[in-house]
Amino acid sequence: MDSVELLQKLVQIPSPNPPGDTVDIANFIAESMRNIGCDVRMPAPDEKPEAINVVATLGDGAPVIMLHAHIDTVPIADSEASKWSVDPYAAVVKDGALYGKGSIDDKAPLASMMLTMIEASKQETLNGTLVLVAAAEEEVGGQLGTKWMAENGHLPECDFIVVGEQTANKVATAHKGVMRCTVTTTGKSVHATNPNRGINAISAMAKIVLALEGYHNELAKRVHPIVGFPTCNVGVIQGGSTANAVPDTCVIKIDRRMIPREIPEVVQSELRHVVESVDVNPAQATVDQWIFSSWFDSPLDSDLSQAFLQSVRDILDDEPGPIGYLPGSDAKHLMDLAKGDMIIFGPGSYEVAHAFDEHVRLDDYQATTDILLDFVKKTIYK
């Protein structure tokens, strides 16, 4: 099948997460890669056996180049279902674009990588190894997908890694990490006719929210050259049950975005200090439920990096970057396997992902494919 037919087929195999069942799409990818002579493995975690990944290997020896894309998509939300102008799983082509759930995130990068593997398989010998990784579970953090594979020996160390995401065919070398936590204030509930007898947990939390806003403003002084500055956002607040009672609890959830090289333990300490430095007496405040997702960054020092940058210049007649990638990606789970450099790269914009009428422009998709093909020709074709 040609490049458009391949992408259509991938979109036409639903793989929403949740629930995260990737059996059908993994089987299609695995069969396609076996048909061109790849060694194919399909690892899946015991905790979620339906979250099947595909690891397809072609060639042997150095350099080892990984092409990584994820095969799960976000589900179609109730709020967006009626807004689609086409069937989200029909993979309709119109006005120079292919529409469908997962078309840009992440099946267009995946299709470009599969096409690169197919072309490479036509060579009699390769001066190196290509590894296609089609990963499950990225949309829910990658814990049972790329992270699980990396920690359990299913992925090789690599000289160069391309993680497929939406970068408008620019080369991204960094994204932010995330630290999340929950703050709870505890007071004393009484009837609102005489609120001074109680301890208002919402009033106590209001002081903490203002302190966190000041902390966020201070973070703007820490500037990373391509991903900007760290942030602190209060995204959820819950408290009280009725207007005529003093609330005895209030809860907020905090999202703290970390720039590369920030130390998680230091960020935790900072957030604790902000909360604990606020005088909420006689109420009490606690911070817990910490969740951390790493940042990613990589240099562009290697010969393979320079070859990739040159491929972008040659195909697009444009400067390749580097740029920062604002969303997260599975690159954070691959840093220990990257003996050389790692980049995030692919067609289109994340702005159209996770939304109704998700689409990828076919010329952008073709450019991604051409760049990957040119890079592989430069580096491992004999």
pLDDT tens sequence across 176-211: 999 999 999 999 999 999 999 999 999 999 999 999
Given this model, what pLDDT does residue 252 score? 98
Alpha helix segments (H runs only) across the chain: 3-11, 23-34, 78-81, 108-120, 146-151, 201-219, 264-276, 303-316, 362-379
Q: What is the pLDDT of residue 176?
A: 96
Which pTM does this prediction carry? Answer: 0.91
- The whole-number pLDDT of residue 1 equals 81
Fold of 177-293: Alpha-Beta Plaits (3.30.70)
- Identify the segments of the chain with pLDDT beneath 70: none
Question: What pLDDT does 382 receive?
Answer: 76
Domain ranges of the chain: 3-175+295-379, 177-293
pLDDT of residue 369: 98
> What are the φ and ψ backbone dihedral angles of 194, each rounded to 5 degrees?
-145, 70
* Interhelix angle 362-379/3-11, nearest 10 degrees: 110
- Compute the CA torsion angle 263, 269, 271, 274 (nearest 10 deg): -140
The DSSP call for residue 116 is H
Q: Evaluate whether 3-175+295-379 and 177-293 have a shared fold.
A: no
pLDDT at position 316, please?
Answer: 97
Domain 3-175+295-379 has CATH 3.40.630.10: yes
Q: d(Cα 205, Cα 186) in Å, to the nearest integer?
A: 9
Report d(CA 372, CA 369) in Å as an integer: 5
Backbone Cα Rg of the chain: 24
